[in-house]
Amino acid sequence: MATQQAGRLDNRKTAGGKAAGAEAPRGEMPRAYEPGAVESRIYEFWESQGYFSPIFSDEAWEKGSTAGDREPFTIIMPPPNVTGELHLGHALTAAIEDALTRWHRMRGDPTLFLPGTDHAGIATQMVVERELAKEALTRQDLGREKFVERVWMWVRKTRHRIDDQHRKLGVSCDWSRNRFTMDETPQLAVRTTFKHLYDDGLIYRGTRIINWCPRCQTALSDLEVNHEEEQTSLWHIKYPLIDGAGAETGEFIQMATTRPETIVGDVAVAVNPEDERWREIIGTKARLPIIGRELEIIADAEVEKEFGTGAVKVTPGHDPTDYEVGLRHGLPIINVMNVDATMNDEAGPYAGMDRYEARHRIVDDFDAAGLLVRIEPYTTSIGHCDRCETVVEPIVSLQWYIKVAPLAARAIDVVRSGQIRVLPERYEKVDLNWMETIRDWCISRQLWWGHRIPVWYCDACGEQFVEIETPSACAKCGDADLRQDEDVLDTWFSSGLWTHSTLGWPRQTKDLELFYPTSVLETGWDILFFWVARMIMLGLYNMHESPFSTVFLHGMVRDEAGQKMSKTKGNVIDPLTIVTEFGADALRFALATNSTAGNDMKFSREKVEAARNFCNKLWNAARFVIQKLEGRPAVALPAGGTASMHLEDRWIISGANALARDVNQLMTDFHLGEAGRQIYDFLWGEFCDWYIEAVKVRLSRGDPSPLPVLAHVLATGLKLLHPFAPFVTEEIWQNLQPLLPADEPEALMVAPYPDMQAQFDDRDAANAMAALIDTVRGIRNIKAEKRVEPARFVEAFLEVENEELRVALASRSELIEALARVRPVHLVAPGEAPSQGAARAIVEGVTIVVPLAGMVDLDAERSRLQKELAQVEAQVERLEKQLANSAFRDRAPEVVIRKVEDDLDAALAKRAALKASLDNL
């Protein structure tokens, strides 16, 4: 089906050359990075090149197997509701998933990021009904068929909006495989799964007490009910006891309720069998006031003796606990409400009233009859509809269920055995705990929009049967007059199949063979139960294999005050307005680096602004490099290593190399935020602040030796950063690529991700450059403190005991002079610097002496140095003590002991230097 779109052109083979007919876009490089002028052009370039589709070798594609090839990397995008607009949660999802996707793609894995949208049963139906309401119409006015048609019209309109918003965020998903939960294949997957489950006895229809939303007028699963603590009352009431003949004895039984409106549905009064107070009246009767019904006094262990009077009214029709009690005692079920939660005829005088009006009237009537004992303020948890927040009513109803325990058992196995890893780990326990205590899943919804339940009823013979394709006649009696079940399935039923229905199941497609099981399932922790757990259960059921190997959960994006964003609160931020203002990269980078897996984050414009500034900083560094290259391509770095280069060159190349190693490790461990921050620190703090500044010294006198290094390090940085900021890095790449050595690909998006290269690992350069940087900072500090005008050059002496370091620094003295604005710099042995009237500072390995005749307050200088000396002495003492500790020597690893020894040496050297300085004052 999708063979064509799968695009088998191998980037790595064609790297360096231009794909046929495609001219890579290149914009001018203005002083500031302008995302608005870049993003759509770059996105179209990527898409037109087919880069979003996974790439396999010909053999792998023919075989439909990746044996011997690189493992494919697959992420199926959590499908946003088709009704919605993207919010920041989607943007976070996109930022994380696309970063993982791009990283894997650049590593050379055949990579698939599959997008889609969810039909979102109740939510979509509500939106369309609201639209209809504007025309003074209801769905009933239209009828089922017309209404569903109307929803489809709506869906066709909104679906592309979501896709376009994703494009604006820069996600590299394979649009040729875009899916919708109501597409033909997912529909088939739903019916097939339903039939299999039904045939296996795992789907059944039954009458039970369920959660009913009176506004949506549908049953809800337990998960779709949100319980909230609310301030209400506990009404203490009493019922008269009656004797065998039905006459009132003059005694009463007192109890309490939070729901007086259900009194009219009472069928019994229950007490604990062990309760001395009530033992004698068990088996006798009471009369339900107003209604007049006789209520048996029953004993049930479920009743807590300690609560109130120890007696409780029993309303099996409107309370889950009472329903259970009713079942145990064979009590009748009386439903006192209509589907919209108004009272029905069973409610006698209250019939037709809203449930809350009935509540107050019943309380009033009890009061008038002297049966209301007291009203106590009370806090209790009340269930609300997940969609519309209406208070949910427990009612008894005929619904379809999945018997989940057997499915959950297998899901528990794969999670517990580590076949599925849950990150952050703490959610594994949450997931397991939920699956271990799982109850049957009510899957039928009294809606019109969704997957219709594939069950048919034959009124002629009473047969009920399940078919994948619409049957024309009853399988049993042949009658053609069949009736399909009116209900649709819970939206999450089709979502639960998403990992394989998107790949073509139940058909045996190539995609299914190549991409199932998928790699990572990334989503917010809020849908762990709704979606992830059910995908594991249904994936195992249909495919006999876990649908993914890693579950990676992110937190919620909240507003600046930490509030959940919601339409009703009016604090929702549209990611697209942020993109327009700051750029998609800024938003993505801010989201990815300011969050930690599983933890919620507070969103603020300041964070995006900081990320925007970073993009701009990189942009300008690139402008500098490109400008200095003057149109002449840089040569490649010497393959043998960097030994012949200047200190700062060796240092920055080694730094980029170490960064590549660390970033790959962090990405492997799903520490995306830390990876992004390290790239930021390197590019800004090392490349821009030090390397580029250092390199100006040579460039300004026409020495081209830094150019290959600038090109190499910038290219490496762009590659490393690309998964986090795809647009700006690609745009820079388009300008830089012609100036790079010949083997660099035409698009950064498909460039190989950098990795550790042993020949560039240069610890010596790292150490010497660290000393140089510390020295420059020390000199700047002295100049700032002594109020030497920054632009003024002064003479400086650097006392360096270590010969090697002194040689290294001497070789780059021009650097120190330029960066610290001192001249000349004298590299000398300890004690050789002038002693009079000089400011001093000691950094590791270097004593800085800046003669400032007449500008130095000797006493202040002395006391400062003495203070520093005291600190160093304390440090020496501590380190010596530690080294003398035999337990430490025995148990600490060798590297740590070495480190402590080195630290002690450094501290001793510093102490000596400080003492010498004090003597010289």
Tell me which residues in 214-253 interact with RNA (CB under 7 A). 222-223, 226-227
Site for RNA in 749-778 (CB under 7 A): 776-777
Site for RNA in 504-543 (CB under 7 A): 529
Site for RNA in 874-913 (CB under 7 A): 875, 878-879, 882, 885, 887-888, 891-893, 896-897, 899-900, 903, 906
Annotate each residue in 430-449 with x if it binds RNA (CB under 7 A) or - if it does not, as one string.
x--xx--x------------
Annotate each residue in 772-811 with x if it binds RNA (CB under 7 A) or - if it does not, as one string.
----xx--xx--xx----xx--------------------
Token pair belonging to 605:
């414009």
Run of H or E residues at 401: strand 393-402
Name every residue whose Cβ is closer than 8 Å to that of residue 84 and which is 6 or more positions away in sequence: 120, 123, 162
Annotate each residue in 694-723 with x if it binds RNA (CB under 7 A) or - if it does not, as one string.
--x---x-----------------------
Shortest Å, Cβ 904 to RNA: 10
Shortest Å, Cβ 186 to RNA: 26
Token pair belonging to 39:
């993003």
Q: Which stretch binds RNA (CB under 7 A): 190-198, 239-247, 542-550, 871-879?
A: 871-879
Shortest Å, Cβ 774 to RNA: 9
Token pair belonging to 601:
């984050």
Question: Is 692 one of the binding residues for RNA (CB under 7 A)?
Answer: yes
Shortest Å, Cβ 603 to RNA: 9
Lookup result for tokens 């107003």: 290
Question: Is 33 one of the binding residues for RNA (CB under 7 A)?
Answer: yes
Distance separating alpha carbons of residues 547 and 496, to the nearest angstrom: 10
Other C-beta atoms within 10 Å of 863: how many?
Answer: 11
Nearer to RNA, 653 or 776 (CB): 776
Question: Is 596 one of the binding residues for RNA (CB under 7 A)?
Answer: yes
Question: Is 402 one of the binding residues for RNA (CB under 7 A)?
Answer: no
**Phi-psi bin for 7: left (phi > 0), alpha (psi -120 to 50), beta?**
left
Shortest Å, Cβ 635 to RNA: 22
Shortest Å, Cβ 399 to RNA: 17
CA 680 to chain centre: 21
- Applying CB under 7 A, which of residues 42, 303, 584, 838 lies at the interface with RNA? 303
Name every residue whose Cβ is closer than 8 Å to that of residue 138 and which is 6 or more positions away in sequence: 129, 132
- Applying CB under 7 A, which of residues 501, 594, 642, 917 lies at the interface with RNA? 594
Shortest Å, Cβ 416 to RNA: 16
Interhelix angle 707-721/726-736, nearest 10 degrees: 150
Assess contact for 278 and 310: CB atoms under 8 A: yes
- Applying CB under 7 A, which of residues 693, 761, 764, 801 lies at the interface with RNA? 693
Distance separating alpha carbons of residues 719 and 754, to the nearest angstrom: 7
Nearer to RNA, 8 or 617 (CB): 617
- Applying CB under 7 A, which of residues 114, 255, 264, 740 lies at the interface with RNA? 255
Site for RNA in 259-298 (CB under 7 A): 259
Nearer to RNA, 2 or 876 (CB): 876
Nearer to RNA, 491 or 594 (CB): 594
Interhelix angle 144-169/88-107, nearest 10 degrees: 60
Q: What is the DSSP letter of 636?
A: P
Shortest Å, Cβ 885 to RNA: 5
Contacts of the segment 215-218: beta carbons below 8 A, 24+ positions apart: 215/340, 215/385, 215/388, 215/390, 216/122, 216/126, 216/385, 216/387, 216/388, 216/390, 216/447, 217/339, 217/340, 217/446, 218/122, 218/445, 218/446, 218/447
C-alpha distances (whole Å) from 393 to each of 261, 352, 443, 814, 841 are 12, 16, 17, 81, 76
Name every residue whose Cβ is closer than 8 Å to that of residue 358 and which is 6 or more positions away in sequence: 261, 264, 343, 347, 350
Q: Which stretch binds RNA (CB under 7 A): 104-112, 140-148, 500-508, 592-600?
A: 592-600
Shortest Å, Cβ 893 to RNA: 5
Shortest Å, Cβ 632 to RNA: 17
Binding-site size, RNA (CB under 7 A): 98
State the SS3 of 781-798.
Answer: HHHHHCCCCCCCCEEEEE
Nearer to RNA, 115 or 265 (CB): 265
Q: What is the DSSP letter of 83?
A: T
Shortest Å, Cβ 787 to RNA: 8
Nearer to RNA, 189 or 311 (CB): 311
Nearer to RNA, 99 or 503 (CB): 99
Nearer to RNA, 138 or 885 (CB): 885
Strand ranges, E, within 66-122: 73-76, 111-114, 116-117
Q: Which stretch binds RNA (CB under 7 A): 101-109, 122-130, 461-469, 662-670?
A: 662-670
Among 665, 709, 657, CA closest to 682:
657
Half-sphere exposure of 729 (CA within 13 A, CB side): 26
Distance separating alpha carbons of residues 646 and 648, to the nearest angstrom: 6
Nearer to RNA, 819 or 838 (CB): 819
Nearer to RNA, 266 or 746 (CB): 266
Question: Is 689 one of the binding residues for RNA (CB under 7 A)?
Answer: yes
Question: Is 356 one of the binding residues for RNA (CB under 7 A)?
Answer: no
Site for RNA in 59-88 (CB under 7 A): none
Output the DSSP codes for 500-517: HHTTTTTS--HHHHHH-S
- Applying CB under 7 A, which of residues 8, 70, 403, 602 lies at the interface with RNA? 602
* Number of continuous H segments (helices) and E segments (strands) in the chain: 30, 29
Shortest Å, Cβ 429 to RNA: 6
C-alpha distances (whole Å) from 394 to each of 205, 346, 351, 633 are 18, 16, 18, 74
Q: Which stretch binds RNA (CB under 7 A): 77-85, 255-263, 572-580, 642-650?
A: 255-263
Half-sphere exposure of 69 (CA within 13 A, CB side): 21
Nearer to RNA, 238 or 510 (CB): 238
Distance separating alpha carbons of residues 294 and 561, to the nearest angstrom: 56
**Phi-psi bin for 294: left (phi > 0), alpha (psi -120 to 50), beta?**
beta
Question: Is 140 one of the binding residues for RNA (CB under 7 A)?
Answer: no
- Applying CB under 7 A, which of residues 256, 263, 371, 423 lies at the interface with RNA? 256
- Applying CB under 7 A, which of residues 355, 500, 607, 646 lies at the interface with RNA? 607
